[in-house]
Amino acid sequence: MGREVSESCIDNLLMEMVSTYCNRFYANKPELAARRIEAIGYQVGHQLSERYTMERPRFTDHLEAIKFICKDFWSELFKKQIDNLKTNHRGTFVLQDNHFRWLTRMSIDQSPENGASGEPSIIADDKAVESMHLYFPCGIIRGALSNLGIPCAVSADISNLPACSFVVRIKA
Amino acid sequence: MQFFGGSEISPSPPVPTATGNNAHMMYIFNRNGVCLLYREWNRPLHTLNPQQDHKLMFGLLFSLKSLTAKMDPTNAEKGNLGIPQLPGQGCSFHSFRTNTYKLSFMETPSGIKFILITNPRTGDLRETLKYIYNLYVEYVAKNALYTPGTLIKCELFNTALDQYVRSIA
Mean pLDDT per 10-residue segment, chain A (172 residues):
82 90 86 92 94 88 90 91 90 91 76 49 75 91 93 88 87 79
- How far apart are the C-alpha atoms of A139 and A116, rounded to whole Å? 35
Q: What distance in Å separates residue A9's CA from the closest CA in chain B? A: 10
Note every long-range contact of A64-72, with CB atoms under 8 Å and residues 24 or more positions apart, other chains counting.
Answer: A65/A145, A65/A148, A65/A149, A65/A150, A66/A93, A66/A95, A66/A145, A66/A168, A68/A148, A69/A95, A69/A141, A69/A144, A69/A145, A70/A95
- How far apart are the C-alpha atoms of A16 and B8, rounded to whole Å? 60
β-sheet with A84-87: strand ranges across: A84-87, A92-97, A164-170, A152-157
Tell me the pLDDT of chain A averaged across its residues. Answer: 85
Given an 8 Å threshold on Cβ–Cβ distance, is B154 in contact with A109? yes
- How far apart are the C-alpha atoms of A67 and A83, rounded to whole Å? 11
Degrees, nearest 5: CA angle B14-B16-B18: 130
Contact B25, B106 (CB under 8 A): no
Given an 8 Å threshold on Cβ–Cβ distance, is A109 in contact with B144? no
User: Three-state DSSP class for A47?
Assistant: helix
Considering only the beta carbons, identify the residue of A8, A18, A114 that sits closest to B144.
A18
Q: What distance in Å separates residue A7's CA from the closest CA in chain B? A: 11
Cβ pairs A/B, distance under 8 A: 41
- How far apart are the C-alpha atoms of A44 and A38, rounded to whole Å? 10
Q: State yes or no: ipTM above 0.90.
A: no
Given an 8 Å threshold on Cβ–Cβ distance, is B158 in contact with A105? no
End-to-end CA distance of chain A: 36
Give A11-31 pLDDT, tens digit per residue.
899 999 998 998 888 888 888
Give B99-157 pLDDT, tens digit per residue.
989 999 998 888 899 999 998 888 888 889 999 999 999 888 888 888 888 888 888 89
DSSP string, A91-126: SEEEEEETT-GGGTT------GGGGGGG-HHHHHHH
- Note the pTM of the prediction, 2 decimals: 0.79
Degrees, nearest 5: CA angle B66-B67-B73: 110
Contacts of B155 in chain A (CB under 8 A): 107-110
